[in-house]
Amino acid sequence: MEHIKQNFSIKDLEHLSGIKAHTIRIWEKRYNILTPERTDTNIRTYDISNLQKILNVTFLNEHGYKISRIAKLSDEEISSMVKNVAATASLQNRAINSFKVAMINFDESLFSKTYNKLLETKTFRQIFHEIFLPLLEEVGLLWQTDTLNPVHEHFIVDLIKHKLYFNIALLKENIQYTDEKLYVLFLPENEIHDLGLLYINYELLLSGRKTIFLGPSMPLKEMRYILEIHPDPAFISYLTITPRDIDEFITEFKTELCTDKIRKLNLFGAKIQNLDPSNQPEYIKIYKSITEFTNELE
């Protein structure tokens, strides 16, 4: 067995789990997720049990479980939960197929029946991560290959958005804010794809953050009025098809909304996937996925 690697660096864990080293360090410090040893030069090293645990934790996190909840579980409970979640894969596949049938046939009743059945065993957050996100990825591929007409995508996205609106309304009725920081969520001019932004709004409210949701096609200059009442918000935008020139958009943001002080702009979406997060102005934060952002909300 000597030829099998038994010790791993934090970069090894990053590559094997897909979780950035920075996030792994946060999980260690805040939740004691892992227990690394250190070399004489103070470099973290991880044994095989740490690797197995980070893979299990990543699996659960990707299926909608918050790190704060996972951290309270023993290693045995984590392993057991992974087995239970994996066993529901067939249920998820059946649900995704059912939603696709509902989409093809414009059958809102089947959509509602499938969704309500999932609610018997899952939270809305779990349904969104485990069912809706994979479904939308498949829909996007089918649309690109002309298997679907755009009208099918619009139909299913609208039904999902209605569920988001409903769950956001429920949160707002009972929310207890845990952070005074305000987030302003908007889409740039001519951007109308707001599903991702809506879900980010849901996650922020779920974690007790204050939000102002402005929605699609919002000119940057018009948001200056918000600063008269709320002088220090962070801004969030989801770029799917616009703007054509992201550098110009970032420059305009600074010109319009950072005249008196620097304010943060957090960016998501297909348009930013090829940007280098380390090569951006200090007020710009690039997120390659919503999960990356929600992990930081913990």
Same domain, 258 and 185: yes
For residue 41, give the CATH number of its domain.
1.10.1660.10
Q: Per residue in 225-251, pLDDT tens?
A: 999 999 899 999 999 888 888 989 999
**Residue after which a domain boundary falls, among 45, 60, 87:** 87
Q: Is 226 exposed, middle or buried (0-12, 13-18, 19+ CB in 10 A)?
A: middle
Pairing mode of beta strands 234-238, 265-268 = parallel
Quickly state the pLDDT bin for 3 (edges 50, 70, 90): very low
Same domain, 102 and 79: no
Range name among 46-50, 196-200, 234-238, 253-257 with the lowest pLDDT average: 46-50
Instruction: Report yes or no: 219 and 252 within 8 Å, Cβ to Cβ.
Output: no
Same domain, 230 and 271: yes
On whether residue 2 sits in a domain, the answer given is no
**Residue after which a domain boundary falls, among 155, 172, 189:** 172
Q: Look at residue 142 in the predicted model and tell me its pLDDT.
A: 59
How far apart CA 187 and CA 193 sit, in angstroms, is 8
Same domain, 286 and 203: yes
Q: Look at residue 90 in the predicted model and tell me its pLDDT.
A: 67
For residue 154, give the CATH number of its domain.
1.10.1240
For residue 245, give the CATH number of its domain.
3.40.50.280
On whether residue 21 sits in a domain, the answer given is yes
Same domain, 182 and 292: yes
**Residue after which a domain boundary falls, among 87, 102, 127:** 87
Quickly state the pLDDT bin for 210 (edges 50, 70, 90): very high
Same domain, 83 and 154: no
Q: Considering only residues 43 and 216, tell me which one the structure prediction assigns the higher pLDDT.
A: 216
**Residue-range definition of the domain harbouring residue 76:** 7-87
Q: Which 3 state secondary structure label does DSSP give 213? A: strand
Q: What angle do helix axes 75-87 and 89-104 make, rounded to 10 degrees? A: 40
Same domain, 143 and 68: no
pLDDT at 161 over 90: yes
Q: Look at residue 141 in the predicted model and tell me its pLDDT.
A: 62
The set of residues, in sequence order, having a beta carbon less than 8 Å from that of 115 and lying 6+ positions away, is 127, 163
Our count of domains for the chain comes to 3
How far apart CA 112 and CA 245 sit, in angstroms, is 40
Q: Considering only residues 118 and 291, tell me which one the structure prediction assigns the higher pLDDT.
A: 118
Same domain, 159 and 271: no
Q: What is the pTM assigned to this prediction?
A: 0.70
Same domain, 81 and 116: no
Quickly state the pLDDT bin for 5 (edges 50, 70, 90): low
On whether residue 278 sits in a domain, the answer given is yes
Q: Per residue in 81-133, pLDDT tens?
A: 887 777 666 678 788 878 887 887 888 999 999 999 999 989 999 999 889 98
On whether residue 47 sits in a domain, the answer given is yes
Same domain, 179 and 265: yes
Same domain, 192 and 268: yes
How far apart CA 13 and CA 57 sit, in angstroms, is 12
On whether residue 150 sits in a domain, the answer given is yes
On whether residue 153 sits in a domain, the answer given is yes
Same domain, 69 and 142: no
